[in-house]
Amino acid sequence: MVSNDLCCQISLTNNCLKTTLHSLVKHHPPVMKSTLLFIVLAATLTACGGKQTAVPVNTMQPALTQLVGVSEIDSNRQYSGEVRARHEVELGFRIGGKIIERKVVVGEQVKAGEVLARLDSADARLQAGAAKAQLQLARQDAQRYRELHLKGFVSQSALDVKEVTLQVSSAQAGLADNQLDYTTLRAGHDGVIAAVLAEAGQVVSAGQPVLRLVQSGEREVAIEIPESQWSLYHEGDAAQVFIGVDAPVAGFLRELSHAADPASRSYAARVAFIAQQPALGMTARVQFVIKHDAQTDFLIPLTAIYQQGMHAAVWIVAADHRVSLRQVKIKSYRDEGAVITGGLHAGERIVSAGVHRLTRGEKIQLIDSGIAQ
């Protein structure tokens, strides 16, 4: 702002200038007089014009900060999956043949022992009949040789041959009966038919999947964990499962694969439910519960770490907004930050970005960015 004294001085100076110019143009033409007078008037208005406001200068440096806190829910990571049964099995015939009947459809409830499908059993019946005839003949021969051996007409070795032949025929007859029974596919457990993999009229080989049976009982969520986060979790870790808009359901990590999928480079995992058993096939989101050690482990951004030689440190913000440097102990590094296991306390405020521009004891302007877990 220009002071009133300065305006008065400029005004006096302009008055003197006008007097001088008036004397100089006294003998000049009227046009020259008008021009000189306009110059003097413009200088006066410029010097004593309207008031100007000066912009205040803020000497405090702005810095991004956040509070150190404790959060048990690892809300930064969610894993999408599908609700499945703990036990799923693909059913197939134990022998090859042509399917002549399929008695179930997808989604049908079945009981243990219920017939699901059948093969053409004509050949198996013929084999079973031939085996029974051979068994009958072997029995008759063995009985005859036993009687002859008692009378001393045949040796013991000859009788032993007939006894062995009887045992072989009995085994072959039993095998043929089993082959005939294998032409019928039965459910091994109570459950639901999840998929039909072969149709009537199709010729299948032994062991080829025909139906997929989802057993009744426990449910769980199948998820995939990226290889960068595999080491964070262990079997038994608590979790929360979100299904639709309902409240989260308690669960735990039941199974975590130790071999990554060669294509996706992720690890298959199963999260089991503790109590509630939702419907099969529903989409679910899983969040794991992270347990901190005695409230001393905190997750802070990597940008908050200030390296002091061989030691890591962070800037602590005091109540008067002045910063001080404190060494911390880093437990591990993650994609989203560093886990601090010593040197910080819950509720303290730290500088989360721009740490290399600060000096000890400097007063900063706070810009809050949230809470460090």
Q: Is residue 157 part of a domain?
A: yes
97 and 199 share a domain?
Answer: yes
Whether residue 223 is predicted with pLDDT greater than 80 in this model: the reply is yes
Whether residue 40 is predicted with pLDDT greater than 80 in this model: the reply is no
Assign 1 a pLDDT band (cuts: 50, 70, 90). Answer: very low
302 and 277 share a domain?
Answer: no
Whether residue 24 is predicted with pLDDT greater than 60 in this model: the reply is no
CATH number at residue 257: 2.40.30.170
Whether residue 77 is predicted with pLDDT greater than 90 in this model: the reply is no
Alpha carbons 40 and 34: distance in angstroms, whole number: 10
Q: Is residue 60 part of a domain?
A: no
Alpha carbons 329 and 341: distance in angstroms, whole number: 6
**Percentage of residues of the chain with pLDDT beyond 90:** 48
Alpha carbons 228 and 225: distance in angstroms, whole number: 8
Between 36 and 257, residue with greater pLDDT: 257
Assign 2 a pLDDT band (cuts: 50, 70, 90). Answer: very low
Pairing status of strand 249-256 against strand 211-215: unpaired
Instruction: Compute φ and ψ for 348, nearest 5 degrees.
Output: -75, 150
Q: Is residue 361 part of a domain?
A: yes
Q: Is residue 42 part of a domain?
A: yes
Between 32 and 102, residue with greater pLDDT: 102
Q: From edge to edge, which strands make up the β-sheet containing 97-102?
A: 184-186, 115-119, 97-102, 203-204
Assign 170 a pLDDT band (cuts: 50, 70, 90). Answer: very high
Using alpha carbons only, give the angle 225, 213, 251 rounded to the nearest 5 degrees: 35
CATH number at residue 302: 2.40.420.20
Contact partners, residue 191, CB within 8 Å, separation at least 6: 85, 109, 110, 213, 214, 215, 216
Taken in order 196, 197, 199, 204, is the CA torsion positive or negative? negative
Cα-to-chain-centroid distance, residue 159: 72
pLDDT of the residue at 336: 73
Q: Which of 13-27, 69-83, 87-101, 177-191 has the lowest mean pLDDT?
A: 13-27
- What is the total count of domains within the chain? 4
Between 11 and 207, residue with greater pLDDT: 207
Each residue's pLDDT tens digit, 264-294: 999 999 999 988 778 888 899 998 876 554 4
182 and 95 share a domain?
Answer: yes
Q: Is residue 358 part of a domain?
A: yes
300 and 349 share a domain?
Answer: yes
* Residues 322, 366 contacting (CB under 8 angstroms): no
* Mean pLDDT for the stretch of residues 328-342: 83
Q: Is residue 143 part of a domain?
A: yes
**Percentage of residues of the chain with pLDDT beyond 70:** 79
- Structural domain of residue 17, as residue ranges? 4-47
Assign 34 a pLDDT band (cuts: 50, 70, 90). Answer: low
pLDDT of the residue at 96: 94
Q: What is the pTM of this model?
A: 0.54
Assign 86 a pLDDT band (cuts: 50, 70, 90). Answer: confident
Whether residue 130 is predicted with pLDDT greater than 80 in this model: the reply is yes
